[in-house]
Amino acid sequence: MATSVQTHTDQAFQQCVSPDCGATYDVGEALTSCQQCGGLLDVAYDWNRLPVPDSLKFFEQKWARRNDPLCRSGVWRFHELLPFAPPEKVVTIGEGQTMLQPSDGVAKFVGVNAGNLYLEYEGLNPSGSFKDNGMTAAFTHAHTIGAKRAACASTGNTSASLALYCGVSKLMQAVIFIGSGKISYGKLSQALDYGALTLQISGDFDDAMQRVRQVSEQLGIYLVNSVNPFRLEGQKTIMYRVLESLDWQVPDWIVVPGGNLGNSSAFGKAFMELRELGLIDRIPRLAIINAAGANTMHELYEVRGNRWNDGHIDQQAPEVYYDELDASGRRASTIASAIEINRPVNYQKCLRALDVCDGVVREVTDGQMLDSKAQVGANGLGCEPASAASVAGAKLLRAEGIIAPSDRVVCILTGHQLKDPTATVAYHTTDQEEFNRVLGSRGVKRADFANRAVAVPNDLDEIVRAIQLNS
């Protein structure tokens, strides 16, 4: 029997994801965990008392009102499906105007039929990653409750996004925690350029995450990491846009990189709600792809068999695993810095998403990610290393026969190609020996799709010859 610490008359509230607890909290509170049991919180709605459209087609008519900022935003266009804030409080900078790009070149690489592979290109967001979908929602919540400072720990993209919302709106100061030497220059440059207070902690992301929780609690700073349930509300809209681009047909697979597991958790919630509301009749399967050097979800779900189990999760399993990591001194290590995380904060919700979507988890090496990234670059708009985990994972699942050639597959490209040019240049231009020396220890054995720069003397004949030789 669910116990409730408060009785809610509101149409939106916060609720503990554990069905054994089910404690509810006012939407006006800033909480990052349940005060009864320590579990994660959802934003929940009393849909019966809210105006829910009877068909997803309803959202198409908003395209005609694109000079209204709430219709232009690819997040707030779906306001009816995340109705936790009044429209006049919404802070939007035009996020979520992204696109679903079919790619036959990547389809061939992955091994599915032409016409069946799509790349959801979230790098088109204002700060260059999918994080803006969630940040506009968390930032809006922070604004509605009068926060003056907002903080996050980040591998780079969350901080870039927070810094951007603070810079544009001037509503809050951004306080950013990053691990030392663990952030790509593209992302660090954004935080600095947008004027965020940037604290570089000696340690990695997992250390920075622990500290930012303590500091925000002590100083009363609003926390925007994905333990924040409002962030995930915004990230649900990535799935709405995928469905919209497919004329509201549900694909067979959604493939997404797994770091803190906010995206995968949000996707699961999106589909759970759409089904509950009768707006879809089928749920796609979800594939979450870890880096082999930061593979907690893969280990706990696929190897140790931990499951959602109707909300009765074996709480010990992750604790035992983290103790093992600590005892052996193992730290997350991958070139895909955005998913270089060993203690994913959304673990509990992610198990629910895997349950809802009949999901699977896989791990891919840095070499598989970099080759996949090169294929995305050569066939599409490009992405950062972590994003390519989705394509590498789809290829692996195809090879295993779990994805069929006739399946319709959507890979989420989480971040822009220019976020981490260092990795791209190293892949393409370093000579093979040097490449193996630098990246070999990370499991990168070769650069199959390297497009090396051709060195030519400053001489017209030599230049002409080089072009003829290479074309």
Q: Which amino acid is at 204?
A: D
300 belongs to the binding site for ligand PLP (CB under 6 A) = no
Determine the Cα–Cα distance for residues 271 and 242; give it in Å rounded to an integer.
12
In the complex, least distance from residue 213 CB atom to Zn ion, rounded to whole angstroms: 17
CB atoms within 10 A of CB 86: 10
Q: Does 133 bind ligand PLP (CB under 6 A)?
A: no
Among 5, 10, 33, 37, interactor with Zn ion by CB under 5 A = 37
Count other C-beta atoms under 10 Å from residue 310's C-beta.
10
Residue with Cβ nearer ligand PLP (260 or 379) = 260
Part in contact with ligand PLP (CB under 6 A); list of ranges 352-360, 368-376, 379-387, 398-406: 379-387
Q: Which does 239 bind (CB under 5 to 8 A by kind): Zn ion, ligand PLP, none?
A: none
By CB under 6 A, the residues from 155 to 174 that bind ligand PLP are: 157
Per CB under 6 A, 259 contacts ligand PLP: yes
Going by C-beta distance under 8 Å and a sequence separation of 6 or more, which residues neighbour residue 428? 374, 447, 450, 451, 452, 453
CB of 235: closest distance to ligand PLP in angstroms? Answer: 7
Q: Which stretch binds ligand PLP (CB under 6 A): 110-118, 326-334, 381-389, 463-471?
A: 381-389
| Nearer to Zn ion (CB atom), residue 159 or residue 265 | 265
| Token couple for 411 | 């890979």
**Residues numbered 205-224 forming contacts with ligand PLP, rule: CB under 6 A:** none
* Of the candidate residues 30, 34, 313, 426, the single one contacting Zn ion (CB under 5 A): 34
CB of 393 to Zn ion, least distance (A): 32
Q: Of 21, 286, 374, 383, which one interacts with Zn ion (CB under 5 A)?
A: 21
> Does 359 interact with ligand PLP (rule: CB under 6 A)?
no
Residue whose C-alpha is closest to residue 265's, from 341, 338, 349, 343 = 349
What's the 3-state SS for the chain?
Answer: CCCCCCCCCCCEEEEECCCCCCCEEECCCCCCCCCCCCCCEEEEECHHHCCCCCCHHHHHHHHHHCCCHHHHCCCHHHHHHCCCCCHHHCCCCCCCCCEEEECHHHHHHHCCCCCCEEEEEHHHCCCCECHHHHHHHHHHHHHHCCCCEEEEEECCHHHHHHHHHHHHHCCCEEEEEEECCCCCHHHHHHHHHCCCEEEEECCCHHHHHHHHHHHHHHHCCEECCCCCHHHHHHHCHHHHHHHHHCCCCCCCEEEEECCCCHHHHHHHHHHHHHHHCCCCCCCCEEEEEEECCECHHHHHHHHCCCCCHHHCCCCHHHHHHHHHHHHCCCCCCCCCHHHCCCCCCCHHHHHHHHHHCCCEEEEECHHHHHHHHHHHHHHCCCCCHHHHHHHHHHHHHHHCCCCCCCCCEEEEECECHHHCHHHHHHHHHCCHHHHHHHHHHHCCCCCCCCCCCCCCCCCHHHHHHHHHHCC
Number of residues that bind ligand PLP (CB under 6 A): 18
Q: Which does 261 bind (CB under 5 to 8 A by kind): ligand PLP, Zn ion, none?
A: ligand PLP
Site for Zn ion (CB under 5 A): which residue of 36, 97, 173, 200?
Answer: 36
What, of ligand PLP, Zn ion, none, does residue 268 touch, CB below 5 to 8 Å by kind? none
**For Zn ion, which stretch binds (CB under 5 A), given 11-19, 58-66, 373-381, 420-428?**
11-19
Q: Which of 254, 339, 357, 426 binds ligand PLP (CB under 6 A)?
A: 339
Nearer to Zn ion, 36 or 429 (CB): 36
Nearer to ligand PLP, 22 or 257 (CB): 257
* Mask for 387-426, x = binds ligand PLP (CB under 6 A): x--------------------------xx-----------
338 binds ligand PLP (CB under 6 A): yes
Candidate segments 34-42, 182-190, 196-204, 460-468, binder of Zn ion by CB under 5 A: 34-42
CB of residue 113 to ligand PLP, shortest distance in Å: 27
Nearer to ligand PLP, 144 or 334 (CB): 334
Q: Which residues, including other chains, have CB under 8 Å from residue 469's CB and lie 6 or more apart?
A: none
Segment interacting with Zn ion, rule: CB under 5 A, options 8-16, 134-142, 163-171, 286-294:
8-16
Backbone dihedral angles phi then psi of residue 197, each to the nearest 5 degrees = -75, 115
Stretch that binds ligand PLP, among 26-34, 164-172, 261-269, 450-458 (CB under 6 A): 261-269
Least Å from the CB of residue 22 to Zn ion: 7
23 binds Zn ion (CB under 5 A): yes
**Given the rule CB under 6 A, which residues bind ligand PLP?**
129, 131, 157, 226, 257-263, 338-339, 384, 386-387, 414-415
**Given the rule CB under 5 A, which residues bind Zn ion?**
16, 21, 23, 34, 36-37, 39
